[in-house]
């Protein structure tokens, strides 16, 4: 019969030793794993926090795209209404621990603070946090990154990292862009007597008052030998805003004097030449879209087809007829009167030809000292030959604001346009883009002053100076630009604030992260007196 | 058991204990190194993230004394963009914050001026460079902590002096540098930088483990000066 072995005290001590060893090793392993897990949480939470910013910026970019896409018809009337709290179209998927999606919601708010055309975009990106309801190594990580580790806050189902960015979009009006002269393609300045400077007609300190007429808001007189050019670009402000920009890489400067910066898109020493007299900087990373101009879509009954022309026969009898292809010559004249700003007087003709003293006058509304007129030239363009000193073939009377939409070519010769207002903002000429392959030219010449803006993204822009110089006050934009002779462009910086022109694009005016913080119930036990403050 | 056997057993046990003790010490030292290193890196990362948020929003950064081993203290000037702050509800960075918070934070009035800049103003509709928030990063008196202090300049709400510790470096004084910063001030100008390199260096090893070791660890990142660059693009 086999008897069981009596328990040995040595066996028991060995067991205790083994258990103790295992326990110690387990504690060590546990501490090690805990330490590693904390580090993993720190890295993962920091990573999620960074991704939340990417998501928030994606939402802001989608909002910007949504606004930009509205610019399909002369940028007018199609801007999106306010949009509240929409999700981005496509969540940003990724591989990650604890989360596979970064999402964002954004809001659009138009006409911010009463400023037409401005948009404010607020976008919040969110990424779920991995792990449980635990801080990582240091509670300050959650404070700096404002992590939410509490499931109950605001009923949120998950622990999250969220970040909010706010972007402000500023409209770019056709009258200004970011330059006094800008083009899609080549700019050619053919003379060192070409001067481009700037002033601010809305600024008392940076504009000139004519001592005789007491008219203010003028550029400083050019003077003999162009001594007055650049007057408001020097001391004390040194504002070099008379920029010249092209979306191409080609700028032939002709040693012209430019009191601003020159921008090209990839310009090189071979394609950007003659820049010795540029007073600002030269950049090669410029691009600013130039949306096309479409023919206005006026509804029937809101405009007059043809321009009334009154003639007197030999018997002294006057008759009025509406010319749909306006052709004024031999000192014949026509006058069109304006409407209100809300309901401008609209006229449509196929072409305008003025010669031999023919004169077209834009006058205020009867009994009023102001008027708003829009003229749509549907195909044949505008040609003027000039009407002598002081009585140009086109006369814009005091108080009248004019918009011209011109299909076809435009040619102003001699002193063929007089804008009595002497403000660039009172005349806007738009060149309707021609069909693909059809050339279009806008030629402005003469030795008098032109006050207005030209935006013709499909037209070759030609500016020709006269004997003492052709002065163009305002801003100019075309497909290409060629300047010959003594040309002075006086860019009016206040056009950048005009709200009367067409919005051609938007640009960022501000972009920042909303880092404010407030006390919330159920937060994670931090000293609220120290960190839960604005910013 | 003979005496010889006993002696042999004691020698073997001695070797085993010696090996165990050595291993334990090495493990402890390694554990200490890695813990100190990871804590140091976590503090570096936190400081860098905090600086990055403020740098992205800043419109002026100053001063940059030179030469100096550390560019702290430094003040970041951030436009005060809001006239109203919510006192209840979810905060920025909280999941309850949506793209359309309620009540909507009220931006200050904006004013366009020469060069198409937007300037945020106070209720008095003045162009207020003074209406800003200064964020001040500095080393503590004992050179081991970096604090962030907020001072609101102007406006009706006072929160001057609100501060918090951002990072702690117990081993020695950290060095915070901005290697590409030029001049005493970075602010808007035609040649403003669009980004700034931020470099943080400190000793990661705890002295008590090995005073002779002076291993330095540097965390460096390039921060896009978003607001400053946005101002540039609007010129």
Round the average pLDDT of chain B to a whole number and report it: 72
Question: Which chain B residue has its CA at the smallest distance from A149's CA?
Answer: B94
pLDDT at residue A187 in the model? 96
Q: Is the pLDDT of residue B124 over 80?
A: no
pLDDT at residue A358 in the model? 86
pLDDT at residue A408 in the model? 95
Q: Which residue of A137, A240, A514 is in closest CB contact with B92?
A: A514
A474: which residues sit within 8 A by CB, 6+ positions away? A175, A424, A425, A427, A450, A451, A452, A453, A454, A490, A491, A492, A495
Question: Which chain A residue has its CA at the smallest distance from B101's CA?
Answer: A85
A97-105: average pLDDT? 74
Contacts of A532 in chain B (CB under 8 A): 91
pLDDT at residue B113 in the model? 35
Size of interface A-B (CB pairs under 8 A): 205
Q: Which residue of B34, B49, B150 is in closest CB contact with A533?
A: B150
Q: Which residue has the higher pLDDT, A118 or B189?
A: A118
Round the average pLDDT of chain A to a whole number and report it: 81
Question: Which chain A residue has its CA at the smallest distance from B148's CA?
Answer: A531
Q: Does the beta-carbon distance from B99 to A137 stay under 8 Å?
A: no
Distances (CA, A) of B47 to B10, B36, B79, B145, B175: 54, 16, 21, 10, 12
pLDDT digits (tens, 9 = 90+) for A405-452: 999 999 988 778 889 999 998 999 999 999 999 999 999 886 678 899
pLDDT digits (tens, 9 = 90+) for A224-259: 778 889 999 888 878 888 889 998 999 999 999 999
Q: Does the beta-carbon distance from A512 to B226 stay under 8 Å?
A: yes
pLDDT at residue A236 in the model? 82
pTM: 0.66
Q: Which residue has the higher pLDDT, B180 or B125?
A: B180
Q: Does the beta-carbon distance from A508 to B230 stay under 8 Å?
A: yes
**Would you call A85 an interface residue with chain B, using a CB distance cutoff of 8 Å?**
yes
Q: How confident is the model at residue A108 (pLDDT cuts 50, 70, 90)?
A: confident
A261-290: average pLDDT? 87
Contacts of B56 in chain A (CB under 8 A): 512-513
CB A431 within 8 A of CB A458: yes
- φ, ψ at A425 (rounded to 5°): -70, -10
pLDDT at residue A209 in the model? 94
Q: Which residue has the higher pLDDT, B66 or A153?
A: B66
Of the ranges A132-136, A144-148, A352-356, the best mean pLDDT one: A352-356
Q: Please state the three-class secondary structure of A132-147 as a single string.
A: CCCCCCCHHHHHHHCC
pLDDT digits (tens, 9 = 90+) for B67-119: 666 788 888 888 766 544 444 555 555 555 555 544 455 555 454 433 333 44
CA-closest candidate to residue A338, choices A366, A309, A308 = A366
Give the H or E element holding residue B43.
Answer: helix B3-57
Q: Which residue has the higher pLDDT, B216 or A459?
A: A459
Shortest distance between the Cα of B67 and any Cα of chain A, in A, equals 30
A207-233: average pLDDT? 89
**Would you call A137 an interface residue with chain B, using a CB distance cutoff of 8 Å?**
yes
**Would you call A287 an interface residue with chain B, using a CB distance cutoff of 8 Å?**
no
What number is the ipTM of this complex? 0.80
pLDDT digits (tens, 9 = 90+) for A371-397: 999 999 999 999 887 655 445 589 999
């Amino acid at each position: 019969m086999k008897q069981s072995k009596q328990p040995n005290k040595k066996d028991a001590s060995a067991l205790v030793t083994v258990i103790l060893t295992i326990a110690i090793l387990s504690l060590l392993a546990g501490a090690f794993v805990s330490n590693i897990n904390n580090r993993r949480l720190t890295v993962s939470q920091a990573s999620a926090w960074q991704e939340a910013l990417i998501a928030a910026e994606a939402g802001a970019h989608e909002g910007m795209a949504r606004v930009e896409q509205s610019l399909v018809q002369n940028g007018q009337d199609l801007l999106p209404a306010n949009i509240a709290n929409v999700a981005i179209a496509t969540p940003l998927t990724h591989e990650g621990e604890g989360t596979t999606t970064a999402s964002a919601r954004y809001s659009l708010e138009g006409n911010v603070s009463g400023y037409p055309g401005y948009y404010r975009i607020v976008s919040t990106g969110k990424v779920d946090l991995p792990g449980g309801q635990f801080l990582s190594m240091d509670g300050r990580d959650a404070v700096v990154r404002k992590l939410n580790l509490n499931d109950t806050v605001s009923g949120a189902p998950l622990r999250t990292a969220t970040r909010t960015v706010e972007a402000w979009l500023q409209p770019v009006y056709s009258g200004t862009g970011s330059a006094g002269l800008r083009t899609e393609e080549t700019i050619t300045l053919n003379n060192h007597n070409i001067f481009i400077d700037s002033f601010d007609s809305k600024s008392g300190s940076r504009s000139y008052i004519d001592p005789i007429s007491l008219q203010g808001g003028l550029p400083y007189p050019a003077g003999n030998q162009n001594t007055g050019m650049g007057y408001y670009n020097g001391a004390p402000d040194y504002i070099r805003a008379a920029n010249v920009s092209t979306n191409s890489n080609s700028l032939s400067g002709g040693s012209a004097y430019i009191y601003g910066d020159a921008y090209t898109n990839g310009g090189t020493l071979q394609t950007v030449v003659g820049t010795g007299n540029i007073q600002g900087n030269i950049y090669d990373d410029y691009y600013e879209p130039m949306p096309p101009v479409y023919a206005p879509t006026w509804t029937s009954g809101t405009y007059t087809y043809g321009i009334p022309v009154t003639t007197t026969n030999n018997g002294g009898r006057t008759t009025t007829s509406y010319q749909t292809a306006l052709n004024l010559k031999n000192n014949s004249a026509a006058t069109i009167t304006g409407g209100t700003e809300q309901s401008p007087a609209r006229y449509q003709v196929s072409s305008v030809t003025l010669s031999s003293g023919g004169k077209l006058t834009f006058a205020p509304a009867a009994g009023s000292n102001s008027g708003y007129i829009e003229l749509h030239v549907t195909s044949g363009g505008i040609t003027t030959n000039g009407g002598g000193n002081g009585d140009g073939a086109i006369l814009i009377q005091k108080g009248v604001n004019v918009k011209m939409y011109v299909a076809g070519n435009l040619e102003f010769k001699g002193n063929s346009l007089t804008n009595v207002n002497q403000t660039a903002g009172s005349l806007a000429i738009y060149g309707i883009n021609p069909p693909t392959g059809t050339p279009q030219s806008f030629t402005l010449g003469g030795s008098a002053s032109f006050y207005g803006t030209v935006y013709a993204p499909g037209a070759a822009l030609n500016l020709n100076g006269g004997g003492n110089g052709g002065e163009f006050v305002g801003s100019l934009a075309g497909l290409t630009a060629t300047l010959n002779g003594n040309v002075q462009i006086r860019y009016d910086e206040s056009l950048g604030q005009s709200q009367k022109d067409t919005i051609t694009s938007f640009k960022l005016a501000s972009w920042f992260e909303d880092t404010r913080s407030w006390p919330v119930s159920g937060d994670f036990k931090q000293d609220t007196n120290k960190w839960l403050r604005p910013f | 058991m003979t005496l010889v056997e006993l002696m042999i057993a004691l020698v073997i046990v001695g070797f085993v204990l010696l090996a165990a003790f050595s291993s334990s010490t090495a493990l402890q030292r390694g554990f200490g190194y890695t813990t100190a290193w990871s804590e140091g890196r976590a503090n570096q990362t936190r400081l860098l993230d905090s600086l990055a948020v403020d740098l992205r929003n800043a419109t002026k950064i100053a001063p940059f004394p030179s030469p100096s081993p550390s560019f702290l203290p430094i003040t970041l000037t951030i436009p005060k963009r809001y006239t109203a702050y919510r006192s209840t509800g979810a905060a920025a960075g909280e999941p309850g914050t949506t793209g359309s918070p309620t009540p909507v934070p009220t931006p200050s009035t904006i004013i366009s001026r020469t060069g198409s800049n937007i300037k945020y103003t106070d209720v008095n509709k003045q162009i207020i460079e003074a209406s800003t928030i200064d964020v001040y990063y500095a080393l503590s008196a004992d050179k081991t902590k970096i604090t962030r202090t907020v001072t609101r300049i102007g406006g009706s709400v006072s929160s001057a002096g609100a501060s918090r510790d951002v990072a702690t470096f117990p081993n020695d004084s950290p060095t915070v540098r901005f290697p590409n910063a030029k001049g005493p001030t970075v602010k808007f100008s035609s040649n403003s930088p669009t980004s700034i390199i931020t470099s943080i260096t400190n000793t990661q090893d705890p002295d008590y483990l090995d005073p002779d070791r002076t291993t330095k660890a540097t965390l460096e990142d390039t921060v896009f000066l978003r607001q400053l660059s946005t101002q540039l693009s609007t010129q």
